[in-house]
Amino acid sequence: MKESSDREKPPASFFELQINSARAAQLAIDAGERFIEVEFPPLPAQVLEMDDVSAYDVAKANIELAIDFAKSFAANQKKVTIMLPDEAEAKIAVENLGTDTPAPNVRVSSLRKSDENDERVFKPDQLFLNLFGTGSGGAVKAVEGTDMYIIIVASAQELPDVEELSELDPGKTIVFYNLKLDVLRGDLGAPAFPGKDFQDRFLSKVKPVYYLRTRQYSRSTSRRPFMVNYQGCLFRSYPGQFQTLLDTGNGKYRRVKGSTVRPALGEFKEELTDELKRQGVIDEEGKTLNFLRTGYKTTTWWEEEREEASDSWKT
């Protein structure tokens, strides 16, 4: 299983993606993982690049995909709750679906719930407390009987609610589903956002079990066409390696490198660039010019070694 996963190819369809991501998640759960990440583009690349695609369209796609993902576990008599950040977002999702139980053993709910005698979804004092990392003031509620939570469309400011949920319902699996944690981690430490210690304390424990992130780059050359555009993806299907894959066109990829440790985003770019140099597509550069192009750091702060952090996010 490990050897085949090391060289597993990216999915050719969303149907294949759902089967493979659920399998990878189950293998991680069987291995004792409680916090797991599933990350992939929720819409085809050509659709995501369209100007009229909104955050609502992406959220709607993620809800539908999360329901299909949940069905894989619900079929084995696991009770799954798909959690949106608040009641307002959950209400919109339920109205679109026509029900809060879109499949047997699958429920749509929210992390934060208002008191039965309070018509407001948020209390000002709860929002204030959450911004300064002191909890939701009791607004976060566990869902009785749930075996697995799937968290969708949450922002960096809402992630502490997930940590609170994990403490309220210990031992239950929590899936971070298409949250773009790489982007959210970059917000930590900014004003009105959770501090960087949140990565060390909680987010670093989240293991990427099915991970497909594409990146596009461009590079100037000294000869025609003078500018080379290239792209690739970082792909992992648990328990396999993190694979650096070069996009060769028509939905096909060439494996450049595999690693048991997730490469930093800067390292991933260098691996793709080095492969193009070996192919003679782009020019070799001197050390000085290469330094000016890449800088002295190829990692973000959360990708560096941090004493208090878990290694789960990168293994």
- At 17-38, the pLDDT tens digits run 999 999 999 999 999 999 999 9
Question: Is the separation of the CB atoms in 92 and 64 below 8 Å?
Answer: no
d(CA 257, CA 234): 10
Is the pLDDT confidence value at 180 over 70?
A: yes
Nearest to 28, CA basis, from 210, 170, 182: 210
Same domain, 88 and 183: yes
- pTM of the predicted protein model: 0.89
**Domain for residue 308, yes or no?**
no
Same domain, 190 and 292: no
pLDDT band at 250 (very low <50, low <70, confident <90, very high): confident
Two tokens, residue 203 = 């987010």
pLDDT band at 119 (very low <50, low <70, confident <90, very high): very low
**Domain for residue 311, yes or no?**
no
d(CA 172, CA 258): 31
Same domain, 262 and 250: yes
pLDDT score recorded for residue 48: 72
Is the pLDDT confidence value at 117 over 50?
A: no
Q: Which residues pair with 177 in a beta bridge?
A: 38
Q: Give the SS3 label for residue 300.
A: coil
Is the pLDDT confidence value at 295 over 70?
A: no
Q: Pick from 160, 175, 210: which residue ends a domain?
A: 210
Question: Is the separation of the CB atoms in 258 and 234 below 8 Å?
Answer: no
Question: Is the separation of the CB atoms in 25 and 5 below 8 Å?
Answer: no
Is the pLDDT confidence value at 258 over 80?
A: yes
**Domain for residue 246, yes or no?**
yes
Is the pLDDT confidence value at 264 over 60?
A: yes
Handedness of CA 42, 168, 163, 136 (dihedral sign): positive
Domain span holding position 254: 213-303
Same domain, 248 and 194: no
d(CA 210, CA 239): 9
Nearest to 311, CA basis, from 33, 41, 22, 40: 33
pLDDT band at 129 (very low <50, low <70, confident <90, very high): low
Q: Give the SS3 label for residue 207.
A: strand
Same domain, 47 and 166: yes
pLDDT band at 122 (very low <50, low <70, confident <90, very high): very low
pLDDT average, residue stretch 286-294 = 45
Nearest to 3, CA basis, from 245, 240, 255: 240
Same domain, 102 and 153: yes
The number of angstroms, rounded, from the C-alpha of 289 to the middle of its chain's C-alpha atoms is: 34
pLDDT score recorded for residue 267: 92
DSSP state of 172: -
Question: Is the separation of the CB atoms in 182 and 208 below 8 Å?
Answer: no
Q: Which of 97-106, 173-182, 242-251 has the lowest mean pLDDT?
A: 242-251
Cα Rg of the chain (Å, integer): 21
pLDDT average, residue stretch 86-111 = 96
Same domain, 187 and 291: no
- Number of folded domains that form the chain: 2
Query: Which alpha helices (H) appear in the chain, and where do they start and end?
Result: 2-6, 14-30, 45-48, 55-74, 87-97, 124-131, 159-168, 181-187, 197-201, 265-278, 287-294
Q: Which residue has the higher pLDDT, 252 or 198?
A: 198
Same domain, 166 and 28: yes
- Return the top range by mean pLDDT from 1-5, 165-169, 272-276, 284-288: 165-169
**Domain for residue 283, yes or no?**
yes
pLDDT score recorded for residue 249: 85
Same domain, 27 and 102: yes
Same domain, 266 and 173: no
Two tokens, residue 305 = 């070694």
